[in-house]
Amino acid sequence: MRLTRYTDYALRVLLHLTAYDERLVSIGEISRAYSISQNHLMKVVQDLSRTGFVTAVRGRNGGLRLGRPPEEIRIGDVVRHTEDGFQLVDCSTCKVAPACTLPRGLNEATRAFLAVLDGYTLADMASARSDLRMLLASPPPGDLAI
């Protein structure tokens, strides 16, 4: 299974906010840390904010923070929210669909995949916060630090 870039960016935003949970974080900071376009991140952040994963504080001293404790945000919930669907094959026009059991196996595999992700929270993924902070603060690969 392959997750979309949108899901990747959403998880990166949430990990960043978890690593710096004691303060507000700007989209610009996250953009620089991962070398991701701010425009792409703004769309992701708006969606995460609308669904309560992230809280956006407006104003001059505003920024982002997690919408609830990292122990309460399951990775499976984020993936379910950010991915359009989990139908791995389209059997609607397939000649053998009435006799084929492939969709059943693929659906079972998808449920197992999501069940594993449900066993992890943001807190689990960011358990080495000091290491995350060090890596997030360093220039991205390919950048020249002068």
Comparing CA positions, the residue from 41, 44, 52 lying closest to residue 77 is 52
Average pLDDT over residues 6-21: 95
Q: Is 34 domain-assigned?
A: yes
Q: What residue numbers bound the domain in which 21 lies?
A: 5-137
Tokens found for residue 14: 């949430």
Residue 121's SS3 state is: strand
pLDDT (tens digit per residue) in 49-59: 999 999 999 98
Q: Is 143 domain-assigned?
A: no
Q: How many domains does the chain have?
A: 1
Q: Is 145 domain-assigned?
A: no
Q: Tell me how long the chain is.
A: 146
Q: Is 144 domain-assigned?
A: no
pLDDT (tens digit per residue) in 17-70: 999 988 999 999 999 999 999 999 999 999 999 999 999 999 888 999 999 999
H or E element, residue 104: helix 102-118
Q: Is 96 domain-assigned?
A: yes
Contacts of the segment 108-117: beta carbons below 8 A, 24+ positions apart: 109/1, 110/1, 110/86, 113/1, 114/76, 114/79, 114/80, 114/86, 115/76, 116/76, 117/74, 117/75, 117/76, 117/79
Q: Decide if pLDDT at 10 tops 90.
A: yes
pLDDT (tens digit per residue) in 65-111: 999 999 999 999 999 999 987 777 778 788 888 888 888 898 899 99
Average pLDDT over residues 120-144: 77
Q: Is 18 domain-assigned?
A: yes
Q: Is 146 domain-assigned?
A: no
Q: What CATH number has the domain bearing residue 43? A: 1.10.10.10
